[in-house]
Structure 1
């Protein structure tokens, strides 16, 4: 045994750490310097945030995410393909489909007849954006909007697709985007939820998809980051009012006693969900005064209500929901998610598409105008889109004035407006069949990374330790921030 090996055997643990103190001190110093750098360059977060400051300056502080459940047809709204009119009723070329997996609703068809849109398109805005006659109000604000025409997803059916779009994973149980925002940025108003969700009721309910609270859950994040759900009927929030015969003073005493019991349990067991219950009980109590003021539209001027349309005062409608979203972010809510159902157009598009567009077209325009006039658009990001697109071929019988389209994950369109987004542009391009992306593809994780970037977070560093792993909204697959659409 040589002298070097002998030295190695005789080095004690104390000797090792004694000689390494300068290294540990240097690491600690580096960490502190890193924190100081973050303080110098980031944006301060709110109450209960996971970090005191973001990784770099945030361009926005609020998000209103409008999700169209079912998958709006990009061909009939945003992605005009005039050459299709000469190919009506011809079969989709196999070279275009290229063996793509189909749903069971059309995989058994003997033919895949091409079907151009029945709706007329016109050019709008400074860049001459081609948009459908079905969305005249969204079209007239084309100069304020960025259309991403090259979104794609890995999922072909609703359940995994909507879960993927909301949580970054097709498997349920993960935190949604809103929960990540709540966790990272914290609260701006302790009397209102940091993350709120509403499910708008469509006027046409021919094929409503089932959705549930799993889409706005906190997953492995602490429970307080799940959304508070606002209801269309009855009390806006469950249990917001005291039961008959129970005064505010009695409820306060009850909560104080319950909180003491929960605190004792927390100190003994250490379950973080016990702490969550304490916080949620207190939030519910504070909301007893803040929510009635929030939902009282009597002080909104008539001009503002008119911008949102005739249904602005009708609880549960899309128009009322987006008006409530503006009022929430105005009062400090970080993230508002609105779901609008019945976009799964497998048939009867001639009746269903006009109904759907009538629900959302004017209210979306009204929301953007309202945010602009209040000086809030620069700090708020508005997102509109579904979980996938629709096929260029018809499902079932082909008719020129009435047809249906199946699910299509290979390309679809979303739009964004507001803080940090370059307005009046279209990003990405699809082929002449709106079937495959030929320029600037954008994955679901690219989309999430871009949203986090606008909030001041590096998606690779914004993590939560769970099951021994640093979990991320954007997963482990490579993805990127779409810098071309950033202002």
Structure 2
């Protein structure tokens, strides 16, 4: 029977497998070993073989350093000397046009331009302009693909963040990490394919919610697993007091038998997914503490990331954990760093935020490269939209703010088969509109999937009579950034 299963592989469906193998935990365990994605729902029916990409991938995994709250591109990557020259002057109506504004500035009588308080210099072979706020990032300029022409339709934080993560401004859709788990499966069966880490800086922090790492309508095994900074990095993972490993194993076996009976009667794939989650949790009890232990990191790595990397819950610590998770086969590691929503007091707050993330972000890229992992790991850094070229409220020296601006913003990518040391896209001289190589959110998502060997038009899931995909009905791979 083992040979037959191996030969026929995914031509078997769940019901046929269970009915042929007979009932009992043994069949579930054997199925998990021989057909790891046996219990994923939708892949076989939709023509996708889980765990096998559509074409040869250039990357195996993703680390997404999401800067929640929307960093101001004018202070970080989009150098605009003309904006500084015109500081205090009114935004030309011809530039602003009839573009949508938020409720915070729509009723402003005037829109005074505000140039950046910070200086820029050129770095690397690309001569990329990078802010003095990011000295460590500047040192890795030749590893970065800086995209200055990202844009989105969403103008407020929650829909914009949800759009970038799930491809829809509304909730209840699978996140990018869930789609990758569904399409590619798991590299390490002792760890989840998709993990989430949270940190917070000094500025105004927009909320992040579990819908951002939801599995949506995909099987629940694909949802992101949030790791916390406490003694229990994954809630409810630790055995209760008085329970040993054998008792735990016996309990899971009994639960599996009951779930198998329910599955035979109702055929609900979520029942099988639940069995798989229980087994994953059991294996994670050993794997997670080992991965989360940073005490054994050598001094040169601590120096590279900075001393805060040993402080649980900081951005630096999460970057180091992201490297460890990624090198242990976690498919998608999602970091959220809150505090970039600078409607006022921007010079002070963005300087603090930049200091929080600069060294560790650059260290992660450097660390991956020196371990030979950067080529197979796609690192992404950026927020949900950009910031206006005019100030919110009155212009005060060194105490201005910027409103939301979906028309253009900057991100960077490194490794994973993207071209290193390039700047892609261009905005006008005031940094308000894109004038070259626009990159929509769906284009960005299509490109990320492409780097992992997935065709965004074929990575689909049928739900309630409709075929869904991460990029909805649009999106094109940005070929100009692919090496």
Query: What is the TM-score of this pair, normalised by structure 1?
Result: 0.89
Which one of 348, 353, 365 corresponds to residue 356 of structure 1? 353
Equivalent-residue separation in structure 1 for 2:241 and 2:464 (angstroms): 45
The answer for the alignment partner of 1:120 in structure 2 is 119
The answer for the alignment partner of 1:480 in structure 2 is 476
Q: Are the equivalent residues in 1 in contact too, given 2:315–2:356 (CA < 8 A)?
A: yes
The answer for the alignment partner of 1:245 in structure 2 is 242
Q: 1:447-462 counterparts in 2 under 5 A?
A: 447-462=444-459
The answer for the alignment partner of 1:86 in structure 2 is 85
Deviations 1:139-198 (A, max 9, x none): 111110000000000000011100000001111111010000000110111101110011
The answer for the alignment partner of 2:272 in structure 1 is 275
The answer for the alignment partner of 1:153 in structure 2 is 152
Q: Are the equivalent residues in 1 in contact too, given 2:379–2:413 (CA < 8 A)?
A: yes
Q: CA deviation at 1:298?
A: 2.7
Q: 1:376-395 counterparts in 2 under 5 A?
A: 376-395=373-392
Q: Which moved more, 1:397-406 or 1:143-152?
A: 397-406
Equivalent-residue separation in structure 2 for 1:254 and 1:458 (angstroms): 41
Q: Are the equivalent residues in 2 in contact too, given 1:410–1:435 (CA < 8 A)?
A: yes
Equivalent-residue separation in structure 1 for 2:188 and 2:85 (angstroms): 56
The answer for the alignment partner of 2:423 in structure 1 is 426
Equivalent-residue separation in structure 2 for 1:53 and 1:259 (angstroms): 28
Q: Are the equivalent residues in 1 in contact too, given 2:65–2:336 (CA < 8 A)?
A: yes
Which one of 299, 314, 331 corresponds to residue 334 of structure 1? 331
Q: Report the 3-state secondary structure (helix = DSSP H, G, I; strand = E; otherwise coil) of the residue aligned with 2:414.
A: strand
Equivalent-residue separation in structure 1 for 2:140 and 2:151 (angstroms): 25
Equivalent-residue separation in structure 2 for 1:409 and 1:241 (angstroms): 43
Equivalent-residue separation in structure 1 for 2:347 and 2:477 (angstroms): 38
Deviations 1:258-292 (A, max 9, x none): 11111111111111111121111111111111111
Instruction: Figure out how many residues of one structure are paired with residues of the other and give that number.
Output: 440
Q: Are the equivalent residues in 2 in contact too, given 1:200–1:232 (CA < 8 A)?
A: no
Q: Are the equivalent residues in 1 in contact too, given 2:187–2:329 (CA < 8 A)?
A: yes
The answer for the alignment partner of 1:468 in structure 2 is 465
Equivalent-residue separation in structure 1 for 2:187 and 2:162 (angstroms): 27
Q: CA deviation at 1:296?
A: 1.5
Q: Are the equivalent residues in 2 in contact too, given 1:447–1:482 (CA < 8 A)?
A: yes
Equivalent-residue separation in structure 2 for 1:99 and 1:361 (angstroms): 36
Q: CA deviation at 1:373?
A: 0.7
Matched, 1:178 2:174: no
Unmatched runs of 5 consecutive residues or more in structure 1: 1-31, 33-45
Q: CA deviation at 1:402?
A: 1.6
The answer for the alignment partner of 1:319 in structure 2 is 316
Q: Are the equivalent residues in 1 in contact too, given 2:345–2:398 (CA < 8 A)?
A: no
Q: Report the 3-state secondary structure (helix = DSSP H, G, I; strand = E; otherwise coil) of the residue aligned with 1:304.
A: helix
Equivalent-residue separation in structure 1 for 2:153 and 2:336 (angstroms): 21
Equivalent-residue separation in structure 1 for 2:458 and 2:285 (angstroms): 37
Of the two, which has the highest radius of gyration? Answer: 1
Equivalent-residue separation in structure 2 for 1:365 and 1:53 (angstroms): 32
Equivalent-residue separation in structure 2 for 1:163 and 1:356 (angstroms): 22
Matched, 1:106 2:105: yes
Deviations 1:428-455 (A, max 9, x none): 0000111100000000000011111111
Deviations 1:85-130 (A, max 9, x none): 2211111011001011110111111110000000010111112111
Unmatched runs of 5 consecutive residues or more in structure 2: 1-10, 12-34, 44-48
Q: 1:43-62 counterparts in 2 under 5 A?
A: 47-48=36-37, 50=43, 51=49, 53-62=52-61
Equivalent-residue separation in structure 2 for 1:344 and 1:162 (angstroms): 13
Q: CA deviation at 1:297?
A: 1.8
Q: Report the 3-state secondary structure (helix = DSSP H, G, I; strand = E; otherwise coil) of the residue aligned with 1:329.
A: helix
Q: Are the equivalent residues in 1 in contact too, given 2:217–2:463 (CA < 8 A)?
A: yes
Q: CA deviation at 1:233?
A: 2.0
Q: 1:203-352 counterparts in 2 under 5 A?
A: 204=202, 206-352=203-349
